[in-house]
Structure 1
Amino acid sequence: MSFDAIVVGAGIAGPPLAAALAREGNSVLLVERDWSEPDRIVGELLQPGGVVALDKLGFKQALEGIDSIPVLGYCVIYNNHQVPIPYPIPHQGRSFHHGRFIQQLRRISKSQQGVQTLQATVKSLSINNDVVTGIITSDSQSFTAPLTFIADGCFSNLRKSALKKLNPPRTCSWFVGLILHDCQLPMHHHGNVILGDDHACILLYQIGENDVRILMDVRGDRPSTSKLPAHIHSHILPYLPKSVQQPLLNALADPDQRLRIMPNTYMRPSAQRSHTRRGTVLMGDAHNQRHPLTGGGMTCALTDVHTLSTELRGVDLRNWEDVHRCLRNWDSQRRSTAGTVNTLSMALYDLFSGDNENLKVLRQGCFEYFLQGGECVNGPVGLLSAVTPQPLLLFYHFFAVAFKSIVVLYKQSTHNLLFTTYRALHVLLTACYTLLPTMVMELVPLERILNRGVFIAIVALFALIIAIYTQYR
């Protein structure tokens, strides 16, 4: 059976992509392995930039009727001190049960004329002379299309055959999740981020009127479920606000709940114009992944769908030259939002969870930077929320944080000036190492760079000049 386009995966990216393609008069097959409501512990907080993208795609009604909660910003708690980080007015995010949101996206997509749905496991891609011509399901059904979109998530089993050059995901840590009931958050309608020098980061946010999600970060190998309760009692519980401790103990004792574990992975994007086989496009987490600390995954996916569907508007999907040109434009345009969100997520995770002394200095400097208010809050939260996803703004604020950290280091140091200066240089180098490699991979097509080391050195020097100017102007 033949279609104009096949979309594999009905998660975040698949349904709105299928609907957008169908609105242009294309016949679209949307394939999903399991159409029942999914149950996951991430993909529950949509940033304001994602809400905007959802609205542009005509899917904003997916947020209604699912007990979703308005999110007004973040509350960062560091060593028992807290600072509010509100979103830019009038922007809001939304948090919800992931599965309910997915079902709404699917329902809207199914109602779009031109979208045909299929429940099946895609076994492989049909490849003829290095060109993808469709899919083959596990029950040996074949479907053909000039363009196959792969949006089957972070555990994609089609990514390897779609790419000429594979960039395997890297697991950074693990999130352990539970749902808390009757829980009083430090700040309601906010994402609450609990940081400290003696524990990994902890996230708390509402996903329903009486449901609070707690995500506890665990580094190293996949944590053993049998050992997790003891770990939570000794390494998580003592650092939680008093109002959260008893609800967590209740959740641990609840026989209807189980500790959920999700890998936090990073995978840089593949250049769609050169690394993917002709006839296929990777979307969502099958294409690009980031640490979920900042909740940017859904925003990146929905923004990618909107940008790509806009590029493909009026294009004959059977004309590969025109499609290839659109992919090239999309690959460049998407880097502003996706690259900024991804770089920020990885940099903040290293900053918030790193246990070496230089990262602790940067962590304290980051909190002190937020305490200054004004643009020291508005700029970073504009990046985090994807309302102002500007790479140069990210660069500016990150190194402003680095130099704020160095100023704090000099003020608090009990060592002589020479040793403190030595420490300060190491803090600056740590900041460069934390931000720049990911920034280069996300925002600059690596195949165009002959010598990454030289490039990073030039950018680091530029950062030094900007940061010095910022502190002493």
Structure 2
Amino acid sequence: MDDTVERNRLRREQAHEADVVVVGAGIFGCAISYALANQGRSVILLERWMHQPDRIVGELLQPGGVAALKKLGLGHCLEDIDAIPCKGYTVLYHGVPTKISYPTIDDDGQVIHQWHGSGREGKRPVGRAFHHGRFIMQLRRACMAHHNITVVETEVTNTIRSEVSDEVLGVETRTTNKETGEKTRDCFFGQLNIIADGYASKFRKGVLDATPVVRSKFYALELIDCPLPEPFHALVVIGNAFPVLLYQIGSRETRALIDVPADIPEASPAAGGVRGYINNCVLPAVPEPIRSAMVTALADGKIPRSMPNSWLPPSKQSTDGLILLGDAMNMRHPLTGGGMTVAFNDAVMLSDLLHPSQVPSLSDSQAVRSAMDTLYWKRKRLTGIVNVLAQALYALFAANDTQLRALQRGCFGYFERGMTDAPAGLLGAILQRPVVLAYHFFSVAFLAIWMNACEVVGSVWGIWKAPLALIDMFLILWKACVVFVPVMWREACR
């Protein structure tokens, strides 16, 4: 066995050949490299820049993602990076807080209250939040220490295709000589090539027909010594501004992500741009001491760093020798913090489907295609929920019309009534039952209709406004269907 490991190492380093070539040493790239290497596969992991990245998203890992990370054998990567436990969320709705902790679970890890209510006592799973770059470097160190993985710092520029078919045989790269700065052409060949080059993937167009849709950006602040209303709970602020998400990423640091849709008048140059929007709309919506911490973070006078909030539904793939996964293939609004959880879950399932007992040779294109077809449908049990929740909750929390605002009130009223375990379980990727998601979403819709009717009929004109309540009922239900059904249909049936 040791001779085989050594031969494979020399083959990777000298001939640049391996069972698998992975492009991108980010979340998914590191995870799938490590998982396949643990199965005895020879892996080359390519990364353009091996320095610690500095990103403003990918900092919150849901409990379901923590569980997947442990299945991959990478649970230790959460240690020694000042990672902070995350036990759930606090929703601050126009100044009124409601705590939504992750649900109570039984000894098998199943959510106890899936259809109604919440458990007051019992075991609850925990997520983790951290500086993205520190976590990435832990994943990379784990890969570099693995005897079946060779990590190379090089920029991938193109794929190498067979002259007699459209099969991808490997990738072309440019490697920079660190002493001279000169770039030289290089090539790496894998029986299977996995592209995981992130949200701005340069290879997406050659594999998928879909393109990301961006309707807003997250502008980020790092707040120092800013206590949140509920310790170890992320905070979502819903007021007269678009959603603001806060969560602690270190002993002293708290990340604030401010959603700013494209082309809104409040962030126009005449209104002072993004900083004007934050000063005029966001700061009045957040409580002290968060407001003071934000003012301090804004004192440098610069526009905060931003990331696009992208929506890219998953697509089937049929390119022999090549797989595109991670954010390159599927993205959702990061409001619910589901991206890394999806990536680790995908890595677990793909590595199982490609296990040597199932696919002895990764050069067997038909077997790999079959595994990818299975992955496409199997992953929907989790990713369908994460994707639908991200898009639907953002639509509700960023409500910009009468019906959406009614649904927003209904959502908060639902939480106030103690209906939190199942929604939190779905959000935390612990509860993987799409039918439960549909049940609770439309329960919120009907509660919104009831609350709206009570408000209308209970007004000065009383019963005379009953026809208006009836009209509102149909409009609110229709809006709920418009928000939920198209995304759910796309996730579940296509």
Provide TM-score, normalisation by structure 1: 0.90
1:242: which partner in 2?
288
- Residue in 2 aligned with 1:211? 253
Deviates most, 411-420 or 110-119: 411-420
Equivalent residue in structure 1 for 2:488, among 435, 439, 443: 439
Deviation at 1:216, TM superposition (A): 0.6
Residues 193-242 of structure 1: CA deviation (Å, up to 9, x unaligned): 0112x210111110001101111110114968972222211010001111
Q: What is residue 194 of structure 1 aligned with on the other side?
A: 237
Map of 2:62 onto structure 1: 47
SS at match of 1:40: coil
- Give the residue type in structure 1 aligned to 2:341: T
- 2:444 aligned residue (401, 426, 451): 401
Q: Is the 8 A contact 2:274 2:303 kept in 1?
A: no
Q: Which residue of 2 aligns with 1:421?
A: 470
Q: Aligned equivalents of 1:258 and 1:59: distance in 2?
A: 36
Aligned mate of 1:371, from 416, 425, 438: 416
Residue aligning to 2:158: 124
Unaligned 5+ segments in structure 1 are: 446-473
1:259 maps onto 2:304 in alignment: yes
Task: Flag the structure with more relative contact order, 1 or 2, with Cα contacts below 8 A and sequence separation at least 6.
Answer: 2
Q: Could you tell me which amino acid in structure 1 is paired with residue 21 of structure 2?
A: I
Q: Is the 8 A contact 1:173 1:217 kept in 2?
A: yes
Distance 1:390 1:103 in 2: 34
How do residues 22-101 of structure 1 correspond to structure 2 at under 5 angstroms? 22-88=37-103, 89-101=123-135
The aligned residue for residue 215 of structure 2 is 172
For the pair 1:149 / 2:149, whether they are aligned, the reply is no
TM-score (norm 2): 0.86
- Post-superposition shift, 1:419? 1.7
Cα-Cα RMSD: 1.5
The range that moved more, 97-106 or 219-228, is 219-228
Q: CA deviation at 1:36?
A: 0.4
How far did 1:162 drift? Answer: 2.5
For residues 10-62 of structure 1, what are the alpha-carbon distances to aligned partners after superposition, in whole Å with 9 as ceiling and x for unaligned? 11011121111112222111001111011111101000000000000000111
Structure 2 match to 1:14: 29
Runs of 5+ unmatched residues, structure 2: 1-15, 104-122, 175-183
Distance 2:394 2:432 in 1: 18
The answer to whether the 8 A contact 2:143-2:151 is kept is no
Report the CA distance shift for 1:236/1:387 in structure 2 as closer, same or farther (over 3 A).
same
The one-letter code matched in structure 1 to 2:17 is: S
Amino acid at match of 2:33: A
Quote the Cα distance in structure 2 between the aligned partners of 1:187 and 1:444.
39
1:111 to 112, 127, 145: 145
Identify the residue that residue 290 of structure 1 maps to in structure 2.
332
Larger radius of gyration: 2
**8 Å Cα contact 1:125-1:161 kept in structure 2:** no
Question: What is the aligned counterpart of 1:220 among 258, 262, 266?
Answer: 262
For 1:97, the aligned partner's letter is H
1:289-368 alignment runs, 5 A limit: 289-314=331-356, 315=359, 316-368=361-413
In structure 1, C-alpha distance between the alignment counterparts of 2:309 and 2:154, rounded to whole Å:
27
Structure 1 window deviating more from structure 2 (102-111 vs 321-330): it is: 321-330
The question of whether the paired residues in 2 share the 8 Å contact of 1:194 and 1:203 is answered with: yes
> 3-state DSSP class of the match of 1:290?
coil
One-letter amino acid of the structure 2 residue matched with residue 132 of structure 1 = V
Name the SS for the 1:188 alignment partner: coil
Provide the identity percentage: 41
Q: Is the 8 A contact 2:275 2:303 kept in 1?
A: no
Distance 1:30 1:397, change over 3 A: same
Matched, 1:386 2:434: no
SS state at 2:210 partner: coil
Distance 1:403 1:215 in 2: 31
Secondary structure at 1:417 match in 2: helix
Cα deviations by residue, 1:134-186 (Å, 9 ceiling, x for unpaired): 101134212111211111100000111233xx100000211000101121211
CA contact (8 A) 2:92 2:236 kept: yes
Find the partner of 2:226 among 172, 177, 183.
183
Letter in 2 for 1:227: G
Aligned residue type for 1:252: L
Match of 2:322 in 1: 280
